[in-house]
Amino acid sequence: MKAAIILCAVLALSECMVRIPLNKGKTAREKLEEQGLWEEYSKKYPYRPFAKFGSYAVGNEQMTNDADLAYYGVISIGTPPQSFRVLFDTGSSYLWVPSVYCSSTACNHHNKFNPSHSSTFKNTRRSLRIQYGTGSMTGFLGYDTVAVGGIQVPNQIFGLSKTEAPFMAHIQADGILGLAYQSLAASGVQPVFYNMVQQGLVQNYFSVYLSRKSESGSEVIFGGYDPNHYTGSIAWIPLSSETYWQITVDSVTVNGETVACHSGCQAIVDTGTSLIVGPTSDISNLNNAVGGFYVQCGNIRHMPDITFNIHGHAFILAASAYVSQSNYYGCSTGFSGIGDSLWILGDVFIREYYTIFNMGQNYVGLAKAV
């Protein structure tokens, strides 16, 4: 279901620095206990930013922002490690990279994994095919050690491509690392984050920050989140389906008037899509409400805000957030319509709202990014 406009986030290896300030006076827990709210709060918000409990670690992956269109970085696979740029994609569940057995043009533009150069590689003899909106990847499955954010994940199953869709030749990343639920993958294929949690390496949530325009600063944190990346409180949105990171949107409004998603709609929060995507008719109404898909660059500051109403919270996008500027094509909105598809809250949305993906409690946390 993911379409041709889909681009993904990718990350590079680094350690996470931890600073825990000393509390003076009553702690947050003591104040909540006085009000009788601690039990409810601790169940709903189980997070401990950057702390290390027992054997739990925090994996911090820095990402490179490629012109606000894609976010990419580096992981390693094998012994000794072979490095790859991957797209960290909350809209899929497989990890795969090109292999030396691939002769597609896309593979020739990227790093290729060589199983014979890794002493820890195991071949499953199982074939693999992944369909994307822009074409497919075919190959086979194997096991090896994967290093992500400074965390070693042994015995991780992953795909090795033998053919790749032509669109992969035009992106910086070599492959994709999926961060959606295991239910999207084939039987016996356990996503990387599942393995991290089940092996007791990290706690069962991760967070994503996407920088605006700046090439540096973007990151994904496995088992933690960074309060320096957001302001105000976190809104916790329950998932409506544990496949994609799927939530219910109540409506989309402009100047207080509902212009799309009139009776509520389903949306996925997807780091692997660069735009905000929705059903063609809804996106047409939304673009018309703000002046069209192509807009005058000089009018951006006069264009209206767009509000996504979700679970009793208003998530506002200013025109400066949803309009992109190109030296070749001028200015256009970041909204794209595709059939009767689910809504996809892609990078245009996530850049404005720091996102915590809680797989343990099946929530998405959203807070205003800074």
**Secondary structure (DSSP) of 297-353:** GGGGGGSPPEEEEETTEEEEE-HHHHEEEETTTEEEESEEE-TTPPEEE-HHHHTTE
The two three-digit tokens of residue 58, written as one number:
């925090």
- Three-state DSSP state, 94: coil
The two three-digit tokens of residue 18, written as one number:
């931890």
Q: Please report the beta strands in 43-201, taking only residues with DSSP state E, as ranges in sequence order.
A: 59-66, 70-77, 82-89, 95-98, 122-132, 135-148, 151-164, 175-178
Catalytic residues: 89, 270
The two three-digit tokens of residue 239, written as one number:
């998932």
Q: Are 220 and 174 in contact (CB under 8 A)?
A: no
- Contacts of residue 39, defined as CB under 8 A and 6 or more positions apart, other chains included, come to none
- Contacts of residue 236, defined as CB under 8 A and 6 or more positions apart, other chains included, come to 44, 45, 363, 364, 365
Q: How far is CA 262 from the centre of its chain?
A: 26
